[in-house]
Amino acid sequence: MTSQQPPSTPSQPEQPAEATPTCFRHPDRETWVRCQRCERPICPDCMRDAAVGFQCPECVAEGNRGIREAKTTFGGRIVGTPYVTYTILVLIGLVYLLQLASNGVTLALSNLPPAVAIGEYYRLITSAFVHQLGGLLPMHLLFNGWAIFAIGPSLERAFGHTRFAALYLISALGGSVLGFWLDPLNTYTYGASGAVFGLFGAFFVVGRKLRLDVRGIAVIIALNLVITFVLPALSNIRISWTGHVGGLITGTLLAAALVYAPKANRVLWHVLTIAGALAVLVALVVVRVPAILSMLS
């Protein structure tokens, strides 16, 4: 009897186990989640919520490129909280506390033509944050603070943070520059009134552009101008008419240039407008300095 071994069946090659995918941005991290747009594996740190599933950061950025950023009425970024207005009010309050602590602060920060002419140009701006000391009831500070609080947020939401800050500071500078030209040399001037008048003028311009009822702000401007010129004549109260008028003219003209700028290349127009206004005011200061220095010699 013979025996025969059955023919051997060739063994099947062993199939390799499927490799676990790794995140395309972090190769050391395993993941089974894929981007819904490009289908590349993404780890939890790279997942971005999408309408369905998740997307990778690159696909999210690519999708956002086609979405136009929301803008304010006149081209600035949308404003939720008017941080610039609140910052101005805080700075004014802090400076007032410094004034209470030291009498020298008021004189050191006020607009004094001879001091500016010899190089203390910062006074043209710092004077807009200084107010008359009034004890328990500082009316100068309270009136300007209330005016900024009342109309500042509306203008900041219309122009955006940066344009509003420029409007406020350049209006303040415009008031100081007119005082630098026309005030007596030994006169200290200070207060946010120049900037406030600039905001009044800007509010009027914005209202006209949006076809709103501007009679209220027109009356406020007229009454304050009357007070500016009449009250000093009837009392010993000194009011800087140059600061008020200079701020009003500067703020009104700058706001008009921003509001009525062509929509095509509006950002460029705004940059050039703000830079141009600043250049004009700086030039007026430079031109006036030699005359003041000659009077002092």
Point out the residues that are catalytic: 193, 244
210: Cβ–Cβ under 8 A, 6 or more apart, which residues? 73
Measured distance CA(274)–CA(254) in Å, rounded: 7
N-term to C-term CA, the chain: 141
Measured distance CA(147)–CA(204) in Å, rounded: 14
The residue behind tokens 């200290």 is 188
> Is 274 within 8 Å of 170 (Cβ atoms)?
yes
Instruction: Work out whether strand 48-49 and strand 54-55 pair parallel, antiparallel, or are unpaired.
Output: antiparallel
77: Cβ–Cβ under 8 A, 6 or more apart, which residues? 69, 70, 71, 160, 161
Measured distance CA(36)–CA(40) in Å, rounded: 8
Q: Which two tokens stand for residue 41?
A: 């594996």
> Is 23 within 8 Å of 42 (Cβ atoms)?
yes
Q: At 9, phi and psi to the nearest 5?
A: -90, 125
